[in-house]
Amino acid sequence: MEEESGEDSGKDDVRDGYVPSERRLQRERHKRARARRATAIAALSTLVTGVVLYLVVVNAPGWPRTKETFFDGQYAREAFPKVLEGLWLNVQLLLVCGVLVLVLGMLIAIARTLPGPVFFPLRVLAAAYTDFFRGLPLIINLMIVVFGVPALRLQGVTVDPVLLGGAALTLTYSAYVAEVFRAGIESVHPSQRAAARSLGLTHRQALRYVVLPQAVRRQVPPLLNDLVSLQKDTGLVSIGGAVDAVRAADIIAQRSLNYTPYIVAGLVFVALTIPMTRFTDWVTARMDRQRAQGGSL
């Protein structure tokens, strides 16, 4: 019985006075062998797939012309510093718009979940906002704001394409983030709010100290995914003339009639996005483990 209990436990084998059974040792060796075999098969299949794709691409009839037009080393070296210089604008937009999106999205989500008939107009306005900006394509929103606002000639209103583009990004992404927050708020069981009210907390205090902390923790992965999307879409501000990474690449491409700068800009955005994506995956996996173990969300 002691031997069987030692086999079924998930604890370390090295314990005081404990000697793992031969059956358990065989099972561990079998698991390690399977893991090595799976790794080898995955590596081999990846290598074969890569070789096949390479052969298909380089043997295509138009590959020489495509290589010259999209993968020219000279234009890549010329575009890289300019693209990096423009990327700083994209990073600034991500940081500023990300904060504004989180704040505005939270306010809209709270407005949509306010109880009572007195708040009905506010709930309707919040719902109309999210429906409109989630349905409106971002590129059209950018064009309306970037080109439409200056056309109004409003006194004291900026015509800077960077600020107007950031405003358009904030309007669109706030609608998406508001729905994420609202889903988190509504996922908190009503008993949590009732228990807070029974302890003497007001509705505002219950929302602040009980509901929102749980809602935000539960929605961290989708919020991070929205920020990853926002980071990529900051490149769309170039349609208004802002010189970001995309616009810097476009200037060189238009002058040289070579599209390699676009490839450089795309790779730079990918390099910036991958760490954020992997961080999102790590947070999601960590929260899944906590949930599976019965930990706090």
pLDDT digits (tens, 9 = 90+) for 243-295: 889 999 999 998 888 999 999 999 999 888 888 888 888 877 877 777 676 65
Domain with residue 239: its CATH number is 1.10.3720.10
Q: Give, in order, the Cα–Cα distances in Å from 247 to each of 58, 89, 97, 152, 261.
A: 30, 11, 19, 25, 10
Same domain as 147, residue 41: no
| Residue 176 reports pLDDT greater than 90 | yes
Same domain as 119, residue 50: no
Same domain as 114, residue 51: no
Count the neighbouring beta carbons within 10 Å of the beta carbon of residue 109: 25
Distance between CA 188 and CA 110 in Å, rounded? 13
The pLDDT-based confidence of 10 (bands split at 50, 70, 90) is: very low
Per-chain mean pLDDT for the chain = 85
Domain annotation covers residue 254: yes
Same domain as 97, residue 42: no
Q: Which pLDDT score, from 0 to 100, does residue 157 have?
A: 84
Structural domain range at position 92: 79-291
Specify the range with the lowest mean pLDDT, choosing from 18-22, 33-37, 105-109, 183-187: 18-22
Same domain as 193, residue 154: yes
Q: Which pLDDT score, from 0 to 100, does residue 18 have?
A: 67
| Residue 208 reports pLDDT greater than 90 | no
User: Which pTM does this prediction carry?
Assistant: 0.77
Q: Which of 39-48, 58-67, 191-200 has the largest mean confidence?
A: 39-48
- Measured in degrees and rounded to the nearest 5, phi and psi for residue 154 equal -75, 130
Distance between CA 146 and CA 165 in Å, rounded? 6
Q: Which pLDDT score, from 0 to 100, does residue 3 have?
A: 43
Number of domains making up the chain: 2
Same domain as 197, residue 96: yes
Pairwise pLDDT comparison (239 vs 173), residue with the higher score: 173
Same domain as 90, residue 43: no
Q: Which pLDDT score, from 0 to 100, does residue 88 have?
A: 92
Same domain as 148, residue 46: no
Domain annotation covers residue 284: yes
Longest dimension (CA), the chain: 85
Q: Are 146 and 240 in contact, with CB atoms under 8 Å apart?
A: yes
Same domain as 86, residue 35: no
